[in-house]
Amino acid sequence: MQDLDELLRIDKDSIWHPYSSMSSDLPVYHVDSATGVLLKLNNGQELIDGMSSWWSVIHGYNHPQMNLALEEQLKDMAHVMFGGLTHTPAIQLTEKLIAITPDSLDAVFYSDSGSVAVEVAMKMAIQYWHAKGKPSRQRFISLRSGYHGDTLGAMSVCDPDTGMHSLFSGVLPEQIFIEQPQCRFGEPCTDNDIAALKKALTKYGENCAALIIEPIVQGAGGMWFYSADYVKQARKLCDEHNVLLIFDEIATGFGRTGQLFACEHADVVPDIMCIGKALTGGYLSLAATLTTRDIHVTIDSGEPGVFMHGPTFMANPLACSAALTSIRLLVESDWQKNINRIQRSLEDGLAPCRQLTQVSDVRVLGGIGVVELKEAVDMKMIVPKFVEAGVWLRPFGKLVYVMPPYIISNDDLATLTSVMVAVIADS
């Protein structure tokens, strides 16, 4: 068996980690095991995970019922192609997703990741308009500071200037970007807030396939929480201009904002919705794109008579089984009361940051707590400080944020927030 030093040498020499350089001197921590909300490092140190492994591990690690579901599914099959074949976990998961998502979303397409779910949504919108005899409708309207994934199509609707993909600008399809709404969550949306969207739809609507937004919460593009009223008005404007509305709920779905899906804050139903991340409780990669009967019937009735996408591992039985169990664990619990508990703890625990001179804003919604600094964080300094204090957080840009597993205790929440306050105060 290889010793740890040799493993870490291979890691440093040969593995690219997300948004990092192999020549970087940023530390990488070796995790031996994980249980509940704790990550156990190779040196025996335990870290409280404040990231839910990028927002996916909502029930914590090594959950006995999740483990059992995968063990039982393995007895039948780990995988089978979905072309021309089907299986019970996929059928049951589809039935469950249609039941818990907003009414009128009644067709499901499975893919491997959130980025691909967005690609699928964009292709659905384009193919829909092609089948309707309007092939010129190929562009998308998107909000600045938005983030929708790392594949080429998804990158094209991420923020073109401040986003992570600006260097690809000459390669990506040219989309239409409007300013993010400045009306905060809980506030009304003014005429000024919605004016940019009105203008864009009036000018470009006839050539647009869809408006794509992250409802209520803009995630990796800036962790911004905006008015539900904006979402309501966006739905109305899309209907008036005959433009489809796509919701990217990959980060917000499955309870994170205090509603099962963020669009429920606005009581609005999209034409297409993307989900992922917490779908399987963080156990396996799986995403889905849901749409309406009108869209899937129109696509099926047009040329070439099929939807043009089909991943090799589409609707993987293990992943579907994990998703079914994760959804059951969530909806059968008093999850809203639990999210409210987390929100109160984050509000109380992060409140002292409002008094720090280096902090420009503190915002909390559901199981999301964000401290926005006036200057970008120094990752080489701040991450080791968090680890030394026994927590795992992964800031980016000017943002130090927390999105813990839903099973986290009040004591661990208090530790997370107190460490955030102390490290930020010392930065």
Structure tokens at 372: 């926005």
Exactly one of 147, 230, 401, 406 is catalytic; name it.
147
Backbone angles phi, psi at 42, to 5 degrees: -65, -25
Could you confirm whether 134 is annotated as catalytic?
no
Query: Which among 49, 193, 229, 248 is annotated as catalytic?
Result: 248
User: DSSP of 234-253, one letter per residue?
Assistant: HHHHHHHHT-EEEEE-TTTT
As a whole number of angstroms, the distance between CA 183 and CA 121 comes to: 27
| 112 labelled catalytic | no
Q: How far apart are CA 261 and CA 251, in angstroms?
A: 10
SS3 of residue 181 by DSSP: coil
Q: Of 17, 12, 110, whose CA–CA distance to 311 is shortest?
A: 110
Please report, to the nearest 10 degrees, the dihedral formed by the alpha carbons of residues 206, 208, 210, 212 taken in order: -130
Which one of the listed residues 123, 193, 277, 401 is annotated catalytic?
Answer: 277
Nearest to 132 by CA among 225, 250, 243, 248: 243
In angstroms, the CA 143 to CA 246 distance is: 12
DSSP 223: -
Contact between 323 and 94 under an 8 Å Cβ cutoff? The reply is no
Annotation says 248 is catalytic: yes
CA triple 184-190-194, angle to 5 deg = 90
User: Residues 3, 5, 19, 191: which is the catalytic one?
Assistant: 19
Q: Please say if 401 is a catalytic residue.
A: no
Both tokens of 183, joined, read 């009306």
> Annotated catalytic sites, by residue?
19, 147, 248, 277
